[in-house]
Amino acid sequence: VPVFLFVAAPYIRRYVAGGRCKSTARLEGKVVIITGANTGIGKETARDLAQRGKVILACRDTAKAEAAASEIRAETGNQQVIVKKLDLADTKSIREFAEKFLAEEKELHILINNAGVMLCPYSKTADGFEMHLGVNHLGHFLLTFLLLECLKQSAPARIVNVSSLAHHGGRIRFHDLHGEKSYNRGLAYCHSKLANVLFTRELARRLQGKFQRQAGFTANALHPGSVSSELVRHSFVMTWLWKIFSFFLKTPCEGAQTSIYCAVAEELESVTGQYFSDCQPAYVSPRGRDDETAKKLWSVSCELLGIQWD
């Protein structure tokens, strides 16, 4: 068995690594925002895109983000790797980030909604939203809303939402969105990832309806794979399992490939409302294809955030 594993190891690793983004597209003169880009797949996405154009790391922990940005600048030689404060668990911070960005930048071509929390003990955001729903869905929903006009005017533009295979285990519990009646942190994560898929679907539908003549304004979602990252830090058991089975997990660089693919691949220029994994289209759960739930979630999200987004 040890000999077999030794011989098979490279093949297993190649399988685990999955698809790679082969696009060499340049992003000169273009602006990219990546949320949660100070660690994990967000940082690796930033590292790749910084070799192509200007990247803004939108992060809660600015000290960590500055360290990541400094490392990326030194490696790529690109000084246009900039850190901006963004706390997705606080709508005030989201609004301040958007206001400053719009005052400083004229265009935005790629928005990668990457940041996320996973397996948090029950807690709420500054605005009283359950943490998974608040950060993973509502925070990015509001951020996208605030930056949409800039994206629209900069088209061709892309919105990339990092979801997960975990959306298959999710459901939108409108009767208990904030988990006050019952809460399971694993399911709460699944629910928020399903919300990402539904948001992408409804956003793409609305963009097509309003700007169908404006080619290249797209929104897609993706599953990055099972990645060895800090995302499981809230669970001792998962952290332990992640260490034991790290050989069978993607590295952050491998996990970033589908985000990069959705952001730059030429063949996706007019592809919208889709869900990808390993740099190719992937199966979406029936709940993730429910247009009525997507429309209702959109409406409820606007209500919770106090915005009008028609």
Q: Give the chain's mean pLDDT.
A: 90
Does 107 fall in a domain? yes
Query: What residues contact 180, with CB distance under 8 A and at least 6 apart?
Result: none
The whole-number average pLDDT for the span 44-48 is 98
How far is the CA of 181 from the CAs of 14, 120, 121, 175, 184, in angstroms? 44, 17, 15, 9, 11
pLDDT in tens, 142-164: 999 999 999 999 999 999 999 99
pLDDT tens-digit map of 229-287: 555 555 556 555 545 555 558 888 999 999 999 999 999 999 999 999 999 999 999 99
* 3, part of any domain: yes
Q: Domain range for residue 111?
A: 1-305
User: For residue 77, is it within any domain?
Assistant: yes
> Does residue 13 fall inside a structural domain?
yes
**Catalytically annotated residues:** 189
Residue 310, in any domain of the structure? no
State the average pLDDT over residues 60-82. Answer: 98
Question: Is residue 209 situated within a structural domain?
Answer: yes
Flag whether 173 is in a domain.
yes
Query: How many independent structural domains does the chain possess?
Result: 1
Which CATH number do you get for residue 192? 3.40.50.720
Average pLDDT over residues 92-106: 98
Q: Would you say the pTM of this structure is higher than 0.75?
A: yes
Q: Nearest to residue 152, comparing CAs of 95, 63, 231, 216?
A: 216
